[in-house]
Copies of this chain bind each other. A is one copy, B any other.
């Protein structure tokens, strides 16, 4: 699974490089290249694996795979801005507004979002109705009913009188990360004109398990590192799945979600093994 994940990451990196090679020289194009480098590219892998499960050619699936990475990169560039999370480092490198400046970071995020729609709308991605459907679903997942809504709720929670409860944090994460993970997992089914419901169910469970594991790592990862007893979320007094369920409760919940995710793929038989392995990987990872 890890080999396939890494191979897909390489394919998508090459694809993004090729697409951006046609862009005019300048700081925004440079920052777009910079911001789309690195990461595990789990979202792109979901697109490519979902496409394989439906017999969709990789050459076509690379367009939505690149698109979801561009959207993810845009969200990170804007999320890192001083007015948002104010992060100076991302994947060990200076964030875009630190390496360039805030104006370039705003424009780079804006351009990466446009790039995502340019990629799903590209004729090489498929027939017109497929591209329009991918664009429509991507817009809904990325916008103020999906990712942006989750981000707005996350920001509102920071100044709220009481920490979020379990239902609220689940709803917030469903928007912030879940909507785009669902888009990625179902893109191959959309391209093949197949039922998207099994992969949507898989993605909802996977997305939540992914976020719970992030919260687990925020505690256990930092505890293992020298001199840090607790993670940044706990230090900031933010509600997390670990603060609400306890460490073992959170782990148990994540395992149950991974079981649900795997069960949702039953109609795919052995063709779903790649995504089943991915779900297990998501809760086994340490970073």
Contact of A121 among B27, B101, B132, B151 (CB under 8 A): B132
DSSP majority for the A interface? helix
* Contact flags A146-183 to B (C-beta < 8 A → 1, else 0): 00110111011000000000000000000000000000
Contact B104 A152 (CB under 8 A): yes
Q: Are B113 and A113 in contact (CB under 8 A)?
A: yes
Evaluate contact between B103 and A84: CB separation under 8 angstroms.
Answer: yes
Number of copies: 2
Residue contact A148 to B28, C-beta cutoff 8 Å: yes
Q: Cβ of A152: which chain B residues have Cβ within 8 Å of it?
A: 26-28, 104, 107
Whether B83 contacts A103 by the Cβ 8 Å rule is yes
A253 lies within 8 A of chain B by Cβ: no
Asked if A139 and B151 sit within 8 Å, CB to CB, the answer is no
User: Can you list 20 A-B contacts with CB-CB less than 8 angstroms, sorted by A residue number?
Assistant: A24-B149, A26-B152, A26-B156, A28-B144, A28-B148, A32-B144, A74-B110, A84-B106, A110-B148, A114-B148, A118-B143, A121-B132, A121-B135, A121-B139, A127-B129, A128-B133, A129-B132, A131-B136, A132-B132, A135-B135
